[in-house]
Amino acid sequence: MRTLNILIADDQEEIRTITSHQLTRAGHRVVAVANGMEAVKAAQQVRFDVALLDEEMPVMGGVEAARGIRQQASESAASPLLVAVTANATAQDRERLLAAGFDHVVGKPFRLESLDSILAGVPASTSETIHPHGSQAADEDPIDVLSRRVNGDRNLMRKLTASFLRDLPSRMNSLRRALKRGDASKVGALAHALKGTVAIFGASQARARSEELQNLGRSGDLQPAHSVFESLQADVAQLERKLRGYAKSAKAAQRAKGRSRPQPSGRRRKKRK
């Protein structure tokens, strides 16, 4: 496959990091931004072959960004291949996004092999939405899932795990406060963001609860949302325990590796004043 200029727009740092890593390792040049407006601006400065646009982002969403990029392309160079990246990967969502101007739709998060056929231009597999979660067992170890996603890159695994564990308390507290206030739209947005993050680790139960909470928030029906949130807390706590165990063992392994490095021979000369 030839080297491509690829634009990634996603408001979640973990998704940007892991996707950029996968595509860079495959030999592509990647620019990653946090919202649709930044994507449109980036497309004004660089000619991209492919644009991966998350559907739901602050400031400007993926649909509006795709429209802006298409408009710019019609006035200058050829339009990039527009790929909608969405956690809402039903058949209806796929049809809606294709009708909005996207060339392809992929589920979120995705493995690089799921995107290969699109990047290579193979038409046989590009007419269906790619679902990245179907092959993962509910009880699959999150570290094994993460390792496959990043091709065993231990440094990136530690970085993504640390980022998730650092942000998790704030995410859950924000959800709790939004539920207490009865802010349905905020609940839907926060649950949607959490859904994309836990899916990186293949946490099927936590992802399903997040999606249920997201849908309740979007419908404005928060009456059953409190019990769903309690179940989500338990699922997330289980994932957190496993990731903290991994983070602790990885940190210990790093320290042991540092101690095992050979020390320089001979005494260092004192610097002259």
HEC secondary structure over the chain? CCCCEEEEECCCHHHHHHHHHHHHHCCCEEEEECCHHHHHHHHHHCCCCEEEEECCCCCCCHHHHHHHHHHHHHHCCCCCEEEEEECCCCHHHHHHHHHCCCCEEEECCCCHHHHHHHHCCCHHHCCCCECCCCCCCCCCCHHHHHHHHCCCCHHHHHHHHHHHHHHHHHHHHHHHHHHHHCCHHHHHHHHHHHHHHHHCCCCHHHHHHHHHHHHHHHHCCCCCHHHHHHHHHHHHHHHHHHHHHHHHHHHHHHHHHHHHCCCCCCCCCCCCC
**Domain 5-125 adopts which CATH fold?**
Rossmann fold (3.40.50)
All residue ranges of the chain with pLDDT < 50 are: 122-138, 269-273
pLDDT value of residue 55: 92
Q: Domain locations in the chain?
A: 5-125, 142-258
pLDDT tens per residue across span 170-202: 999 999 999 999 999 999 999 998 988 898 998
- The CATH number fitting domain 142-258, selected from 1.20.120.160, 1.10.3720.10, 3.30.70.1230, 1.10.10.10: 1.20.120.160
Compute CA 42 distance to the chain's CA centroid, rounded to the nearest angstrom.
20
> pTM score, two decimals?
0.69
Q: What distance in Å separates the CA atoms of residue 84 and residue 57, rounded to the nearest whole number?
A: 12
